[in-house]
């Protein structure tokens, strides 16, 4: 049986952090074995909010792909591309926008959240979306075009994207109804099970909060950032018994990155007051650096051979465009355009 098509994308936010690694990329790497995977950098989506700040866009896009390749997204297994190189997506976006009711996009809760973040407004009463650009309003329609241009059955996403995907399913159903066809699947979300990694300060990990550790950070930077991790706040001296379950960040990182034997040892020694937090974090820094050493080395090798990376992206973009074109032929027929 043919493998099902799977599509997922990331906006071009620049270098990725360990939260992306644990939450998304390891999952993508596994999925390569079971699905026909299409992974793309959503550069048009990036423009929906950063349209007036594009100086770093090209570098950001390539940084994302470098991180993917370093972490094991394999161009021989998966199709890697830039959204903006697959023009069929833009064409489908126009056709889908013709059949998408305005209130479907206005109701989108994820979009409301995004608008709040952009405007830096935290007021509760945002029933109405404040003044926003047409392109941003179309965010879920463009995302639907990404998915439907490849007629994907499966879309791995985080919970924050579920509302968007629900709109995609509605749009696919509506297209099929209006044009009396069964062309489109209703794509299913595949939720990432791995809990999101928090930042060194205990808040959500993110570049804008400056609490993240990048996949591409060097060992020294990583060690320094790990030393900033919050531990058990109730602990005053290093021979006081600690509470790993109240150790806000450091122990969580152990659970994410260390083997179970080490995790157990840390737990016992911490509880018995046999392990100081500074030493504990020094060890943690080493564990993380060891884990990422081969990934960082691979990233550097790709970065030195950047033309090869552009070749991978160009090939992937052509492949995605070919696949999308064969679907678009049927779409044009269905619409009679």
Which residues contribute to the site for ligand SF4 (CB under 6 A)? Answer: 231-232, 235, 242, 244, 247, 250-251, 266, 270, 275, 277, 280-281
Segment near ligand TRP (CB under 6 A), from 9-17, 86-94, 174-182, 246-254? 9-17
By CB under 6 A, tell whether 267 contacts ligand TRP. Answer: no
- Quote the tokens at residue 208: 């804008």
- Residue 185 or 223 with smaller CB distance to ligand SF4: 223
Torsion of CA 43, 47, 52, 54, to 10 degrees: 0
Segment near ligand TRP (CB under 6 A), from 28-36, 139-147, 277-285, 290-298? 139-147
Using CA atoms, how far apart are residues 45 and 143, in angstroms rounded to an integer?
8
**Cα 274 to Cα 242, 268, 282, 331, distances in angstroms:** 9, 8, 15, 66
CB of 105 to ligand SF4, least distance (A): 45
Using CA atoms, how far apart are residues 24 and 192, in angstroms rounded to an integer?
7
CB of 8 to ligand TRP, least distance (A): 4
- Residue 48 or 231 with smaller CB distance to ligand TRP: 48
Using CA atoms, how far apart are residues 193 and 27, in angstroms rounded to an integer?
9
Q: Which ranges in the chain belong to alpha helices (H)?
A: 18-20, 26-31, 43-50, 57-71, 87-99, 102-107, 109-119, 134-137, 139-148, 162-178, 219-227, 250-257, 260-271, 277-304, 306-335
Give the chain's radius of gyration (CA, Å): 22
Name which of residues 30 to 59 contact ligand TRP (CB under 6 A): 42, 45
Give yes or no for a contact between 298 and 70, defined as CB atoms under 8 angstroms apart. Answer: yes
- Residue 115 or 266 with smaller CB distance to ligand SF4: 266
Using CA atoms, how far apart are residues 67 and 32, in angstroms rounded to an integer?
16
- Residue 91 or 232 with smaller CB distance to ligand SF4: 232
- Residue 185 or 283 with smaller CB distance to ligand SF4: 283
Segment near ligand TRP (CB under 6 A), from 28-36, 154-162, 176-184, 189-197? 154-162
- Residue 51 or 234 with smaller CB distance to ligand TRP: 51
Among 5, 6, 9, 84, binds ligand TRP (CB under 6 A): 9
By CB under 6 A, tell whether 147 contacts ligand TRP. Answer: yes
Closest by CA position to 41, among listed 31, 52, 26, 28: 28
By CB under 6 A, tell whether 7 contacts ligand TRP. Answer: yes
By CB under 6 A, tell whether 8 contacts ligand TRP. Answer: yes
By CB under 6 A, tell whether 167 contacts ligand TRP. Answer: no
Task: State the CB neighbour count (10 A cutoff) for residue 264.
Answer: 12
Chain residues binding ligand TRP by CB under 6 A are 7-11, 42, 45, 143, 146-147, 155, 157, 161
């Amino acid at each position: 049986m043919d493998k099902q098509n799977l599509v997922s994308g990331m906006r071009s936010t620049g270098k990725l952090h360990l939260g992306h690694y644990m939450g998304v990329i390891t999952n993508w790497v596994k999925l390569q074995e079971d699905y026909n995977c299409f992974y793309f950098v959503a550069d048009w989506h990036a423009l929906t909010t950063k349209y007036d700040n594009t100086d770093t866009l090209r570098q950001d896009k390539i940084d994302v792909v470098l991180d993917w390749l370093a972490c094991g997204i394999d161009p021989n297994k998966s199709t890697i591309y830039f959204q903006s190189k697959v023009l069929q997506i833009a064409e489908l976006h126009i056709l889908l926008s013709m059949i998408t009711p305005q209130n479907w996009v206005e109701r989108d809760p994820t979009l409301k959240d995004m608008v709040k973040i952009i405007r830096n407004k935290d007021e509760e009463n945002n029933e109405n979306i404040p003044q926003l650009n047409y392109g941003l309003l179309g965010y879920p329609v463009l995302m639907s075009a990404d998915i439907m241009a490849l007629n994907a059955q499966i879309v791995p996403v985080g919970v924050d994207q579920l509302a968007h995907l629900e709109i995609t399913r509605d749009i696919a159903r509506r297209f099929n109804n209006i044009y009396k066809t069964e062309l489109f699947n209703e794509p299913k979300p595949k939720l990432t099970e791995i809990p999101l990694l928090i930042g060194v300060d205990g808040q959500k990990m993110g570049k804008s909060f400056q609490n993240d550790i990048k996949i591409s950070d060097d060992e020294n930077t990583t060690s320094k950032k790990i030393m900033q991790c919050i531990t058990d706040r109730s602990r005053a001296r290093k021979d006081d018994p600690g509470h790993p379950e109240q150790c806000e960040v450091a122990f969580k990182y152990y659970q994410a990155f260390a083997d179970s034997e080490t995790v157990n040892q840390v737990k016992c020694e911490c509880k018995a007051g046999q392990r100081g937090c500074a030493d504990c974090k020094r060890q943690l820094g080493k564990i993380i650096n060891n884990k990422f050493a081969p990934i960082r080395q691979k990233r550097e090798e790709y970065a030195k051979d950047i033309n090869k990376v552009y070749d991978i992206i160009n090939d992937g973009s052509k492949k995605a465009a070919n696949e999308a074109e064969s679907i678009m032929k049927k779409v044009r027929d269905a619409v009679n355009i």
